[in-house]
Structures are given as C-alpha cells and as structure tokens.
C-alpha cells in the first residue's frame, strides 16, 4: 500500500465494481474509472483511473512492456508492484472465454512479480480452486458470517473467501448461516436466511409469534442488552467516521456516553398503526400446505418489502394490553359480510377501510389509561362504522373514536377531514408533571416512559441556571413538549415548527399548563432568511430536535454565527446527527 496514485494498464472494465464489492464503504465518487463500457484501456486512458479511496490504493505501473492486471475476486490480495519488476503476460479476454458461460466466476489473482518465494504461473492458477465470485447470482446459496447490525437491524455479513458484503434480515452478529441471494445491488447483495449453522451466543426465543415475519421487531430474538450494545456501536462508529471525532481525543469520553437503556422492553408504544388489506401475507410453509388462504382480508402490519400484503396480527407486544383488547375486538367482527366493510385495495383503489390507529394516554387526575381509536377510511360513511363504534364504546379505556377521511390513492394514514364518532377529540398524556393533549394526527413521543428520561437529559445538558434569566430557542419544537418542560426554569421559550397543527397543539398545551412565557411560531427552518432571529431575543440555549433529514445548511450557518453558549441536539437519526455535529463542532461548512 502506498500514498501515490499511478497508472494501471490492461483491459479491466469490471475493476471498479470489484473494488466496491470488496469494500462496500467506498462510494462511487471515490473510484475514478476512465475505461467504461468494457472498452480496452491503454496507459493514457487509465491515467488517474483510481485515486486514493479510504484504506486502499492501486499503484501506477510504469514499465516498458505492456502490463496487464488480473482481475481478482479477493481484493485484499492485491500486491504492491514496483517499477522495473518483471511480469508474466496475461490475456484477460482469453481468461474470460475459458470461464464457464454465464457464471460470475472471475479470474484468480492479481499478476504478481517473479521472485524466489512466490512464482505463480497461469497453469498453477488454472488448477487452483477458485473462490466464489464477487457477484453471486440470484438464487445462489452462500455461507456467511454476520459481523454487525446495520440500518433497520439488518445483519451486515461477508463471504469469508472474498469479503463480499451481503445484507440479511434477522441475522445476528457472530451468527454463521447459509443464505440465498434474493436481490443484487451495485455493491452488495441481499439474502434470506436458509439455515443457521452456529447461532449468536445472545440469541433468545422471541416472545411474539409474529416476530419472524413481521416488519416491526427485527431483533426481538436478540437479548436486549446485546441490542443496546449493537446500537451503541452503530452510533459510536457514526460519531467517529461521519462526525469526525477521534477515539484518541481525550474529550471523546465526554462526547460519546453510554446508551441509557429502557426498563420497558415491551408494551411501551403509545401509538400503533395497523393496515387493512385485501391480500394476506403468509409464510411459505403455510402457502405450501394451504392451511391458510392468502386471499382472505387482513388487518395487521405490512410484511417487509410488500406494500400490498398485510400480515394479520391479533396481538402486538409493542402496545399496551388495553390497546390489544381493542385490536382483538375489531378483528373479531370487521370481516362480517353483513357489515359491508371492505378493505382498501392499493392496486384498484377500491374499498373503504384503510387504517386502524390506536393511541394510548393517561388521565391527568387518575392516571388511568386512555385510548383513542382512529379509523382511516376512503370516504365518510359513519353508518358503516357504527357497529364497530358500538362494540368499542363499551371499553372503559376508550374515550375517543375518530374517523379520518383520506381520499388519496396513497397509503398515508393522515386524512383531509376528521370527524369525532364517539367521546372527545383528544386524549391526554403526562410528561414531567405537565399534561399534553394529543389529537388523532398530533406528533408525540411514541415512548412516553423513555421520553421522561430523555427530557431530563435535555435539561441536564442545557445546564440551566434555574434563576429564570435565560432565553431558550426551541427549534423543530413540534407540540412544544421539550420547551414547555423547561419553561418554568427560564425567562422565555421561543419555539419554531413548520407544521401549523403542531403549533396549534403547542399553544393549547401551554395554556392547559398555565405556561405564559412560551411563544410558538410557525415557520420552515429549512428556508430561513437573513431576518431570522428578529422575532426573539438572542438565546442562551438552543434546543434542536429535527426530523430524520437533520438540519439544513442555512440553519447550521445561522447557529455558527449565533455562537450560543449551549446547543442541545436531540436526534432520531444518528447518521444525520453525526453529519450536523461535524459541521457545528468543527466548523466545516462554507459561510
């Protein structure tokens, strides 16, 4: 390996793809190839074909003879080639002709210089056992080892012989298994697990009967403590590689602290959205023995990778027991043909029932559970829903039954119109001693128990004096939950949010709790102008809680110019958070 970029000659049209498959972290912009479309390349055409990319380098070969480089399906075996070394001739195109047609097996190893210790010729190469190709075919089986958990809990795996990267749903770190290739991407493949050869040491039996097929809990068969470790490792890697914080920095321990686990592993979600469907998703074994009919109407959660098939669910371990009773009651009767409740068909766009959303809260005085049931339908026909409303109204926890009308052809659960079919239009939840009203489409932390801990951490990180002298700027404030919990200890809170309904909820919640030192302003923080900041005093503390895309560059520039003493960044996406932290802490944004 070296730090100089030189030339590679020969006909090597597939090399960039090979490099990316062997090193999935490399992006297309990290590899410059002037060959393209399988054309033969000369020294001039390959000039600066590759540049420095991460931890891997390709050397320039300056030699009087025409040099060719063998393609290799094991990129890590690339050798340093010194100027003046002697090379054997190698006909890449002839090698391809000798390869079995339509196979993805490529040639063996990079051309190596003659020396006393390592003299490899073509005959030896032909007799050597060839590794599996970098580009396995769809349907091919591979022996894999899961190395870590990636995005959405997918296992990041590698083929041992080649280092080729494969993603597998429900594969756990350390698990060795057989997988079948189902999909091929530019620089990796996706597989489904066929057989586990050696399980992960922290593998447990998932308590939910739907865990192996549902798209909601991909790591339920992994010990919770191991889940926390895996998540912490993901965040730590992002902070280092994207946020550009160094492990060697003595302050790194202050930057990255241990994850605070939740003591409620199940039944913690206060909102669950279930879908109605015309086609039921069934596991292969049930399809094979025909024990279940796939054409039966279903109510549940979408199967992973299917927008038109729904896994029928009678009980969900994420929501509360009262909410599960409501779900079971709806499942018990909605298919009755006498009711005339047809599920929405996402292909023909016919049908009435789209979604069932169940929200949970607590009564302010008694702390008793409250439930809101929201039926999302394609049109307003309250007479069709009346039998369901009557059946659910007998549950003491159900204090609100709503009907959202969504006439669009998409799969969204937010309606253009809203009607109250039973009870009131809101439920309440309590956070840090404050009451918050929640409507059918309000944004609210889905784990109220852990939100209490989160908001306490926000207050601790803000370092409030507690004397009521400080100004707080609450960016992406939503319904005002964070700002309102801090209001009693500061001079004033200014909250900004783009969604008008959320601003209305925030103002109503401020009035409900008798908070008079909070101002909530509707505005798009991704489109701020130079006049931004004229509506409030210079803040001492900035709280930012953006959605998944993170903060816009213009907002980051404003914060850098503002130079607030403290900024507390709350994030639901560690990747964009790490990116923004780099810009905020290292000032690497053009002004």
- Whole-number Cα distances in Å, 570 to 98, 209, 459, 461: 58, 34, 12, 11
Q: Which of 2, 262, 333, 572 is catalytic?
A: 572
Other beta carbons within 10 Å of 561: 9
Among 228, 229, 319, 230, smallest CA distance to 266 is for: 319
Say how far apart CA 427 and CA 364 lie, in whole Å: 10
Is 445 marked as binding a ligand? yes
572: annotated active-site residue:
yes
Say how far apart CA 558 and CA 27 lie, in whole Å: 30
Is 265 marked as binding a ligand? no
Question: Sign (positive/negative) of CA torsion 394, 397, 399, 405?
Answer: negative
- Tell me if residue 482 falls in helix, strand or coil: helix
Containing 421, the helix (H) or strand (E) segment is strand 417-423
Burial class (CB in 10 A: 0-12, 13-18, 19+), 132: middle
Say how far apart CA 313 and CA 458 lie, in whole Å: 37
**Pairing verdict, β 271-277 and 165-168:** unpaired
DSSP 8-state class, residue 132: P
- Whole-number Cα distances in Å, 471 to 172, 235, 433, 518, 519: 46, 31, 22, 10, 11
Is 476 marked as binding a ligand? yes
Please state the φ and ψ torsions of residue 586, each to the nearest 5 degrees. -105, 0
Residues 6+ apart with CB under 8 A from 390: none
**DSSP string for residues in 544-588:** E---TT---HHHHHHHHHHT-SEEEE--S-HHHHHHHHHHHHH--
Q: Which two tokens stand for residue 584?
A: 């905020």
Q: Which two tokens stand for residue 492?
A: 């004033």
Say how far apart CA 77 and CA 243 lie, in whole Å: 31
User: Any bridge partners for residue 436, and if so which?
Assistant: 429
- Tell me if residue 420 falls in helix, strand or coil: strand
The residue assigned the tokens 């060839």 is: 130
Say how far apart CA 400 and CA 372 lie, in whole Å: 5
Containing 228, the helix (H) or strand (E) segment is helix 224-241
Task: Indicate which residues carry an active-site annotation.
Answer: 572
Annotated binding site: 445, 476, 497, 545
Binding residues for S-adenosyl-L-methionine: 445, 476, 497, 545
């Amino acid at each position: 390996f070296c730090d100089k970029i030189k030339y590679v000659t020969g006909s090597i049209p597939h090399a960039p793809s090979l490099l990316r498959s062997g090193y999935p972290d490399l992006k297309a912009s990290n590899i410059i190839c002037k060959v393209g479309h399988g054309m033969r390349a000369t020294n001039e055409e390959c000039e600066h074909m590759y540049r420095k990319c991460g931890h891997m380098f390709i050397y320039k070969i300056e030699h009087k003879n025409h040099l060719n480089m063998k393609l290799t399906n094991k990129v890590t075996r690339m050798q340093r080639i010194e100027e003046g070394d002697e090379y054997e001739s190698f006909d890449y195109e002839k090698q391809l002709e000798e390869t079995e047609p339509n196979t993805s097996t490529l040639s063996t190893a990079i051309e190596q210089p003659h020396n006393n210790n390592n003299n490899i010729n073509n005959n030896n190469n032909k007799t050597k056992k060839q590794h599996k190709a970098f580009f396995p075919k769809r349907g091919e089986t591979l022996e894999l080892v899961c190395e870590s958990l990636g995005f959405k809990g997918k296992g990041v795996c590698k083929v041992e012989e080649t280092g080729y990267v494969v993603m597998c749903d429900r594969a756990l770190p350390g698990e060795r298994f057989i997988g079948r290739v189902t999909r091929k991407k530019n620089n990796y493949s996706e597989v489904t697990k066929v057989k586990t050869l050696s399980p992960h040491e922290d593998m447990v039996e998932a308590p939910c009967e739907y865990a192996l097929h549902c798209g909601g809990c991909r790591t339920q068969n992994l010990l919770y403590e191991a889940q926390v470790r895996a998540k912490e490792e993901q965040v730590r890697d992002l902070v280092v590689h994207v946020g550009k914080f160094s492990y060697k920095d003595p302050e790194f321990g202050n930057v990255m602290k241990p994850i605070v686990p939740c003591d409620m592993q199940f039944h913690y979600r206060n909102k669950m959205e279930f879908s109605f469907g015309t086609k039921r998703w069934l596991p292969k074994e049930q399809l094979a023995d025909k024990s279940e009919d796939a054409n039966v109407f279903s109510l549940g959660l979408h199967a992973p990778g299917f927008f038109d098939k729904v896994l029928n669910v009678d009980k969900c371990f994420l929501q509360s027991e009262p909410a599960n009773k409501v779900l079971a009651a709806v499942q018990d009767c909605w298919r009755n043909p006498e009711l005339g409740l047809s599920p929405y068909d996402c292909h023909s766009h016919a049908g009435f029932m789209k979604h069932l959303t169940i929200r949970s809260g607590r009564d302010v005085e008694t702390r008793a559970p409250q439930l809101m049931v929201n039926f999302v339908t394609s049109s307003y026909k309250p007479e069709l829903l009346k039998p369901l409303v009557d059946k659910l109204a007998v549950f003491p926890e159900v204090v609100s039954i709503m009907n959202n009308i969504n006439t669009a052809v998409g799969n969204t659960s937010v309606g253009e119109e809203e009607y109250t079919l039973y009870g009131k239009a809101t439920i309440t939840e309590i956070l840090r001693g404050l009451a918050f009203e929640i409507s059918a489409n309000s944004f609210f932390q889905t784990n109220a128990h852990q939100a209490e801990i989160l908001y306490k951490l926000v207050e601790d990180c803000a370092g409030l004096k507690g004397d009521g002298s400080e100004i707080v700027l609450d960016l992406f404030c939503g319904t005002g939950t964070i700002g309102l919990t801090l209001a009693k200890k500061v001079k004033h809170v200014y909250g900004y949010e783009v969604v008008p309904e959320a601003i209305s909820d925030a103002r109503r919640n401020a009035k409900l709790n008798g908070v008079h030192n909070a101002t909530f302003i509707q505005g798009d923080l991704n489109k701020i102008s130079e006049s931004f900041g004229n509506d409030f005093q210079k803040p001492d503390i900035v709280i930012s809680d953006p959605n998944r895309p993170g903060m816009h560059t213009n907002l980051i520039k404003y914060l850098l110019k503002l130079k607030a003493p403290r900024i507390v960044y709350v994030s639901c996406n560690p990747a964009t958070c790490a990116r923004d932290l780099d810009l905020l802490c290292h000032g690497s944004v053009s002004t």
